[in-house]
Amino acid sequence: MKVRQGQSFLDLVVQETGSIENAFEMSLLNEQSITDDLTIGDEIKVSKVTNRLTVNLFGGNHKPATGINNEELEEITPFDPGIGEMIIGKTFIVR
């Protein structure tokens, strides 16, 4: 399976096996840490499927992507301050 944009190792574990409980097994299978940053297009080997309903939920184009950091998020949705879009302590200062 190939890594897509914004996916973490744990996203892939749940997407392909159906359970986070398979994280350490897949980590050993791929010889990498569950906290390693992945590169788009990396090939990840999959361990056994333990929850077919969850795997089916993430079929097609419905892929989890929780590995997006703050810098990447700002590139996707640039901050455009306006009414209703203020951040306390940054653009809205409480005195």
pLDDT at 86: 65
Segment 76-81 mean pLDDT: 60
* Cβ-based neighbour number of residue 50 at 10 Å: 14
What's the distance, Cα to Cα, between the start and end of the chain in Å?
51
pLDDT tens figures, 6-49: 899 999 999 999 999 999 999 999 999 998 888 899 999 999 99
